């Protein structure tokens, strides 16, 4: 059952909820620091639905100085609700360049499906980050979105 998912930039008040939502953030200091830095830089988005936070996404410039979606996290009980697609859309609207990159492991079928559905296409592969599970790089060309933004 899909609900109305809304997105917004995360604020410092969201930090605790994001860490509680993401099991990796609960145990990994570096993940918490990434969340904190993204919130401070206004590059972290929150998805809300069902009366709670149902995901978050982080945009960075750490990929050859290009806009790169570093993290999209939606807990299993909120997947297939539109939360991931809503976050990608919110991030895409914020990007000023004509393309946006992201990546995921080849084994992450859920994320690969989301990216395909949202118009991303494979752009490359990086071996040896995770043994036996290559990282697949994706790109989405945003030229139409940028042209529309220029007319506003």
Where helices occur in 5-140 by DSSP H, the ranges are 15-21, 23-27, 29-40, 83-94, 109-117
Average pLDDT over residues 142-149: 60
Architecture of domain 6-151: 3-Layer(aba) Sandwich (3.40)
> Given this model, what pLDDT does residue 152 score?
56
Q: Is the pLDDT of residue 112 over 90?
A: yes
Q: How remote is the C-alpha of 29 from its chain's centroid?
A: 19
> Given this model, what pLDDT does residue 72 score?
96
Percent of the chain exceeding pLDDT 90 equals 84
pLDDT in tens, 75-106: 999 999 999 999 999 999 999 999 999 999 99
Model pTM? Answer: 0.88
pLDDT in tens, 22-65: 999 999 999 999 999 999 999 999 999 989 999 999 999 988 88
Residue 69 neighbours by CB under 8 Å, 6+ apart: 57, 58, 59, 88, 91, 100, 101, 102
Nearest of 76, 90, 103 to residue 145 by alpha carbon: 90
- CA dihedral 18→22→28→32, nearest 10 degrees, is -20
Q: CA-to-CA distance for 31 and 33, rounded, in angstroms?
A: 5
Q: CA-to-CA distance for 146 and 108, rounded, in angstroms?
A: 29
In the chain, where the domains are located = 6-151
Percent of the chain exceeding pLDDT 70 equals 92
Q: Which two tokens stand for residue 85?
A: 């697609």
Q: Is the pLDDT of residue 2 over 70?
A: no
Nearest of 83, 81, 70 to residue 138 by alpha carbon: 70
Average pLDDT over residues 59-75: 93
Task: Report the residue count for the chain.
Answer: 152
Q: Is the pLDDT of residue 137 over 80?
A: yes
Q: Is the pLDDT of residue 17 over 60?
A: yes
Residue pair 136/125 in contact by the 8 Å Cβ criterion: yes
């Amino acid at each position: 059952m899909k609900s109305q998912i809304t997105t917004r930039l995360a604020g410092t008040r969201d930090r605790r909820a994001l860490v509680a939502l993401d099991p990796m953030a609960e145990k990994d200091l570096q993940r918490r620091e990434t969340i904190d830095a993204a919130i401070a830089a206004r590059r972290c988005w929150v998805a809300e639905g069902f009366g709670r936070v149902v995901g978050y996404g982080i945009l960075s410039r750490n990929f050859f100085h290009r806009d790169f979606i570093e993290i999209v996290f939606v807990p299993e009980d909120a997947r297939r609700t539109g939360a991931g697609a809503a976050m990608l859309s919110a991030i895409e609207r914020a990007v000023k360049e004509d393309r946006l990159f992201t990546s995921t492991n080849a084994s992450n079928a859920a994320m690969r499906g989301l990216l395909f559905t949202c118009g991303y296409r494979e752009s490359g592969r990086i071996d040896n980050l995770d043994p036996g599970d290559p990282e697949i790089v994706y790109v989405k060309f945003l030229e139409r979105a940028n042209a529309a933004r220029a007319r506003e």
